[in-house]
Structure formats: structure tokens, C-alpha cells
Structure 1
Amino acid sequence: MTPVPPLLAVAHGSRDPRHAAAMAALAARVRALRPGLRVDIGYLDHCGPRVPDRLDALADAGAETVVAVPLLFTPAFHAKQDVPNVLRHRRLTVRQAATLAPSPLLLAALDRRMREAGVRPGDGRYGVVLATAGSTDPEANAVTTIVAREWRRTGWCAVVPAFASVHQGSTIGAAIEDLRTLGAERIAVASCMLAPGILPDRILEQALAAGAEPVTEPVADTEEIARLVLDRYDAALPSRSWLSA
């Protein structure tokens, strides 16, 4: 029987050790949901193991096909350029899965973090800022806008997107003021980030400086994101027959 292709989760990487810890926790959740599936993590930058080293190890272990799932929300530069370039391998067929957003599972993970912070959908006192890193790529920022719109439709009174590194779109402070203008009594900021690091810290700082709270934790270490990674893996498999293997 042809072995099930391993899943290589491709993470951005960070010098902040909290990032790698969150990625390891996510990988552990994915393994728990799919016993027997090999799940490895490779990083694009800043920390290791790097993606090429992981691919070499998988080839040495006998893999012929690998499914790479980018741990990225939007199809920005990393997903369009860096990931395809680093996945080239002379001994492996590597299939790149789609990025993680939009998805109902992402919305469920955001819901989980908001509930943990004490905010419930339907509470008319709150406006919600959906805060992401931001990109120079308009397609990537458009995905964030779609996520905000879809999340609002699930019962949140007002959800607006904002970006910690503004290239296009609203700053976090400006989004908070817009919600206040619309009549929101309180502002919650949902950190649409996978793992702790420089940009999530910036989101927290900007939100608190503008008088918003709570600010939610990143979402990597949730069952919903683990299920989303597996959904992207399954969709990228070269043969659906592997799903019953």
C-alpha cells in the first residue's frame, strides 16, 4: 500500500520563542486528530528547522509525496513566492495546500478566543476589530475583509478589519474610532494571528493605547485551527483514496 503523504506545516518563523512553542502545540493537536499521520513543521526564516531540512529528512525517511500546508492566513508574498520557492525538491513531489483563510473553522477559533475573553456574539455593547498583520498585497488584505464580513454574519454586531502594519486599509486605532462613531460602547480586538510575536504584541499595544479591551490571544493552539490544517491537507492530497487509508 502506498504510504499516506506526510503533512509538512510551513510556518513563518520568529526569533520570539513563543512562536515556535505555539506552532509545536498546533502540530501536536493535528497529530492527535489524525493518529498515524506524520506531521512535521518547517520554518521559512528566523528559527529552525528550516523547510529544506525537513524535506530532506522526509525524503530520507522514504516519502515520495509531501503535502505542505502554509500556516498563513492570506495569499500574500510569503504564500505566493517564498513558500513555492522553498518547496522545490529533487527527490520529492511536494503539493502546496491553500492558505488558511477564509474558513468557518477560523471563525470558530476567533469565537473561542472572544468567549475566553468574556465577550459573546450578539452583545450589542461591543464593536469588534479584526486585527491582522496587513500586507502590500491587496488580495491578502481583501481576504481579511471577507473574514470580517463573514464573522459579522455569524451574530457579531459590528466587525471591522484593521492592520498592525498598514500598507492598505485602516490602522487599529482608526478602526476603533470608527466603531465608536457608529455607537459601540466597548471595543474588543480579535487578534487574527496564529502565534505570539512582534506583530501580535504590536496589536496589543495599539489596542490598549486606543482604549480597547479585551484583546484576544492568537489562535494557533486551538482545536479549530488544527482541524483547519487537516482540511487544507485533505483538499491537497493527490488522491482522495488516501483519506480512508
Structure 2
Amino acid sequence: MTPPALLLVGHGTRDEAGARAFRDFVAQLGAAHPELPVGGGFIELSPPPLADTVAAMAGAGARTFAAVPLMLVSAGHAKGDIPAALAREKQRHPGTSFAYGRPLGPHPGLLAVLERRVDEALAGADRAGATVLLVGRGSTDPDANAEVAKAARLLWEGRGYAGVETAFVSLAEPSVPAGLDRCLRLGARTVVVLPYFLFSGVLPDRVREQAAVWAAGLGAGVDVRCADVIGPEPELARLVMERYREAVAGDVRMNCDACVYRVAMPGFEDRVGLPQQPHHHPDDPSHTHGGHTHGGQGHTHAHSH
């Protein structure tokens, strides 16, 4: 019996190198697991669109899918857009079913990769004299931003850095320059700017550009070094398979304690109980959006509040 297909879902990027890195990772994962169908698609910006990938896999005989969002935090795309897209694909392909896995999160395997990236940037310099600035994408969802702060704290624990601070490249504060200002005020003389991204793209490039501008101006006397993104490391492949097995087994442990659609968070009280309205993606011909549940686990954001 053929196991459920592994469907990797990416956000998409206007950077062709970043999109190619995603596609290459999907291909590598498929080659490493010939026992199951593996495919990947984007919800916007990059080919292949998720709809095309599902159509191809369904055409090849796949009927059950375990979808894993290739995303580090659970923000709007993971909470709204992807579940809505999967619901549309189920309607388009009668007889198919989709289990939805959880985002990657600050898993110990990925923290180990981040630690390597910092060491690469330090090039033998002492960790004790280095402050790390972990830079996330940034979101209007406070829960997603808090996950970046959690990753920063976990990265700090036990690794001997002078400190680990957080910043965001879009939609949230502190910005990259503001984060570097804070590092300077805390007495940092060496700062490793660490992009919290899986693959290269427009936003990781922006992180490096903003760090370089700051270093050339306000950062006189501070040794600012930029680390690489996580990349297609073995730890990432193992984590994706872990999330796949969770989804297949129905063991998707979503953390809803700080979800703005369930809990009245300060400044976001108006979101409690709101129906999800994922924005239309130009790569998908459907305009139908609705509420969603997390992986069939009874966490409905839309109409049950």
C-alpha cells in the first residue's frame, strides 16, 4: 500500500535562487525517500503553484496527502492561507484527503544549524565576546513574532554567547537597525546578524543590506558579521519527515494558547472569533476562501467562537 504523499508547501519568493533552493530541497527529499510520493509547491510568487503540484500528484494516483508547511513560524500563511488552499484542492480533486502538519518551529535540530551558522560567521572568534541578532521575517501576528523571540532565547541557552537579541525585517519591531542599536547600547563589540530564514531570498538579502548600512554609519567600532540562512541541511530534512509522520499519525500538537483568533491579546482584541479571509493568490484561479481548522484537530478559527 502506497503511504500518504508528502506535500511541502512554501510561501514563495521573487528571488529565483530562493525558489530554486526550495525546489532542489523537495527533489532531494524525494530521492532520499523513494518509498513515498513527494512534491512541493508555493502559495504565491514562485512556480510551481501548489494547485499544479497537487494536480500532478493526484494525476499520478495520490489520494491521501500529508501537507507540511515549510515555514519556521505559524503566522497568517500557515494559519489561514495554506489550510484554505488545501480545502480548495480537496474540492477540485474528489476522493482526496489532506492531513495538515505543523510549522517547523524552533526545533533543536534547527537550533544546531543556527549555532553552526554563527560559528561560521565568527570564524574562530570567541563566542563569549559575540552578541547574536536573530532576525525574523516579521508578522502582524504577535504569536508568530513571539516564536522568533522563543527561538532566540533557546539559541542563547548553554551556548556561551554574550547575548542573543531579536529583530524583524518587516511588519514588526524592532527593525534590523533598531536591533543593532540595542546591541550597541548593551555594549556589544561583535555582532553576528543571523537571518532566521530557511533559504535565500529578497528578505534575507534585505537583512544583510540593512546591517551593512548600519555598520557603515552608526556602527563605527562594532564588528558586524552576517551569517548565512539555514539552508537544505540534514537536520531540516529530518525535521520535515518528523512533521510528516506527525501529520500521518494525527499527532499534530498545535499550540493555541496565544492565538489571536482564540485569545484576546492586547491590541488585537478585534480578531477573536473572526472568520479567516486568506487573500487571493494570483497563481491560483479560485477566489473562494473560508475558515479553517488545524490538521483536523478541532482548532477552528472561523465560526465556532
- The TM-score, its normalising length taken from structure 1, stands at 0.90
Q: Which moved more, 1:143-152 or 1:201-210?
A: 201-210
Higher relative contact order (CA 8 A, sep 6+): 1
Q: CA-to-partner distance for each residue in 1:186-226, whole Å, 9 max, x for gaps?
A: 10011111222211111011111122632122213212211
Of residues 169, 177, 183, the one that matches 1:164 is 169
Q: Which moved more, 1:70-79 or 1:152-161?
A: 152-161
- Distance in 1 between residues matched to 2:184 and 2:250, nearest whole Å: 50
The answer for the alignment partner of 2:20 in structure 1 is: 21
The answer for the alignment partner of 2:155 in structure 1 is: 151
What is the Cα deviation at residue 171 of structure 1? Answer: 1.2
Q: CA RMSD in A?
A: 1.9
Of residues 235, 255, 263, the one that matches 1:224 is 235
Mapped pair 1:140 → 2:144: yes
Are 1:121 and 1:157, in contact at CA under 8 Å, matched by a contact in 2? Answer: no
- Distance in 1 between residues matched to 2:150 and 2:2, nearest whole Å: 37
Are 1:189 and 1:215, in contact at CA under 8 Å, matched by a contact in 2? Answer: yes
- Distance in 1 between residues matched to 2:192 and 2:199, nearest whole Å: 19
Q: Which moved more, 1:6-15 or 1:34-43?
A: 34-43
- Distance in 1 between residues matched to 2:62 and 2:249, nearest whole Å: 14
What is the Cα deviation at residue 120 of structure 1? Answer: 6.4
Measured at CA, do residues 59 and 35 of structure 1 come closer, stay the same or move farther in structure 2, by a change above 3 Å? closer
Unaligned runs of 5+ in 2: 216-222, 252-305
Are 2:127 and 2:162, in contact at CA under 8 Å, matched by a contact in 1? Answer: yes
The one-letter amino acid paired with 2:61 is: G
Q: What is the SS of the residue equivalent to 1:46? A: coil
- Distance in 2 between residues matched to 1:190 and 1:97, nearest whole Å: 26
The answer for the alignment partner of 2:46 in structure 1 is: 47
Measured at CA, do residues 4 and 214 of structure 1 come closer, stay the same or move farther in structure 2, by a change above 3 Å? same
- Distance in 2 between residues matched to 1:231 and 1:122, nearest whole Å: 34
- Distance in 1 between residues matched to 2:2 and 2:59, nearest whole Å: 14
- Distance in 1 between residues matched to 2:60 and 2:164, nearest whole Å: 46
Q: What is the SS of the residue equivalent to 1:100? A: coil
What is the Cα deviation at residue 35 of structure 1? Answer: 3.9
Q: CA-to-partner distance for each residue in 1:7-46, whole Å, 9 max, x for gaps?
A: 1110111222111221023224423543423221111111
Are 2:39 and 2:57, in contact at CA under 8 Å, matched by a contact in 1? Answer: no
Of residues 170, 174, 177, the one that matches 1:173 is 177
- Distance in 2 between residues matched to 1:35 and 1:112, nearest whole Å: 30
The one-letter amino acid paired with 1:74 is: V
Q: What is the SS of the residue equivalent to 1:117? A: helix
Q: Which has the larger radius of gyration?
A: 2
Q: CA-to-partner distance for each residue in 1:150-169, whole Å, 9 max, x for gaps?
A: 110031331111000142x3
Unaligned runs of 5+ in 1: 241-245
Q: What is the SS of the residue equivalent to 2:128? A: coil
Of residues 171, 184, 190, the one that matches 1:186 is 190
Are 2:129 and 2:190, in contact at CA under 8 Å, matched by a contact in 1? Answer: yes
Mapped pair 1:208 → 2:212: yes
Measured at CA, do residues 236 and 121 of structure 1 come closer, stay the same or move farther in structure 2, by a change above 3 Å? farther
Q: How many residues align?
A: 238
Q: What is the SS of the residue equivalent to 2:231? A: coil
Q: What is the SS of the residue equivalent to 2:66? A: strand
Q: CA-to-partner distance for each residue in 1:135-177, whole Å, 9 max, x for gaps?
A: 000000010010001110031331111000142x311111112
Of residues 103, 122, 128, the one that matches 1:124 is 128
Identity among equivalent pairs (%): 35
The answer for the alignment partner of 2:84 in structure 1 is: 85
The answer for the alignment partner of 1:68 in structure 2 is: 67
The answer for the alignment partner of 1:199 in structure 2 is: 203
Measured at CA, do residues 120 and 71 of structure 1 come closer, stay the same or move farther in structure 2, by a change above 3 Å? farther
